[in-house]
Amino acid sequence: MGLRDTVEWARTEWGIFRKGGEMGWSQRGRWVRQWVPFGARTVGWVIVSITAGPISGGAASTWAAKKWSQSCAKGLRIYIEATGQKNVPDGGFVYVSNHESLVDILVLGASLPGDFKWAAKRSVMNIPFLGWHLRLAGHVPVDRNKGKDAAAAVTEAFESVLRGEKPLLVFPEGTRTADGKLKSFKTGAFQAAVLTGKPVVPVAISGTFALMSRDEVDTGASKDPEDRLVTVHIGEPLYPNPELEEPEAVTELRDRSRNAVAEMLAKARSAEAVAESAPRL
């Protein structure tokens, strides 16, 4: 099952399996230079996680995940600027971020504080090495399009993380954007926040879509740091409205969170546009 799930994940998530026949030799070479070292780093840090994690109470897995994110982002020459860390509350809460690219989890893993648990597709959980780490570290498997029972189970898993006073990272759009625009948000994470009374922390990631959109096979050839800059903005925590009934409270918190992410994205992209138009000295 592991090999089959690995192949399916790679086929659907990596553009090379959709565009392989269209790639020139230079692009094929760049793909190898970027992703073979990435695979080696992944295996190396996962070995640390699965060997030292159980005897350290999970602390080694958390440390290894942070180092994996940072080393892989550096290896892919992704430059990260993060702001708003002071907004992060203590205890359990939900990070809700827009989803632009396959490399988002690397960027967020390198820049978001806290031992957060990631809501990941169940197919990813079955990938050798990577999936082993995700399961050991307590990340949450998510089944897409599996009906109400599966959705309820996911919400319960989210609640369990929050009641355990751990941060949870969710991409509420459900999948990566195809056109760079912010999509509508699903309600599962917001329902868990309402049921547990925990806040939502909006996160806006900008620059990964230009670096590696859904149909791209790598992060591009440019070595200019400005072309490879990604920004992460962490907003102020948003709390559920206790005066509303559960369905209304969930919808209100979802819409308020999406508006916050949209506003931060607009500011980030406006700043990027100004920077691009400024003359270089």
> Residue 207 gets which letter from DSSP?
S
What's the pLDDT at 280?
Answer: 47
What's the pLDDT at 278?
Answer: 53
Average per-residue pLDDT for the chain: 88
Single out the residue of 161, 126, 166 nearest to residue 140, CA to CA: 161
- The yes or no reply on domain 2-277 and CATH 3.40.1130 is yes
What's the pLDDT at 139?
Answer: 84
What's the pLDDT at 279?
Answer: 58
Q: Please calculate the CA angle 172-106-102 and round it to the nearest 5 degrees.
A: 60
What's the pLDDT at 281?
Answer: 46
What's the pLDDT at 54?
Answer: 87
What's the pLDDT at 248?
Answer: 98
Single out the residue of 26, 63, 35, 96 nearest to residue 259, CA to CA: 96
H-type alpha helices, the chain: 2-13, 16-19, 25-52, 59-75, 104-111, 122-125, 130-136, 148-163, 188-196, 208-211, 246-277
Which parts of the chain have pLDDT scores under 70?
A: 1-21, 144-147, 273-281
Q: How far apart are CA 103 and CA 35, in angstroms?
A: 12
What's the pLDDT at 41?
Answer: 94
Report the predicted TM-score, pTM, of the whole model to 2 decimal places: 0.88
Domain locations along the chain: 2-277
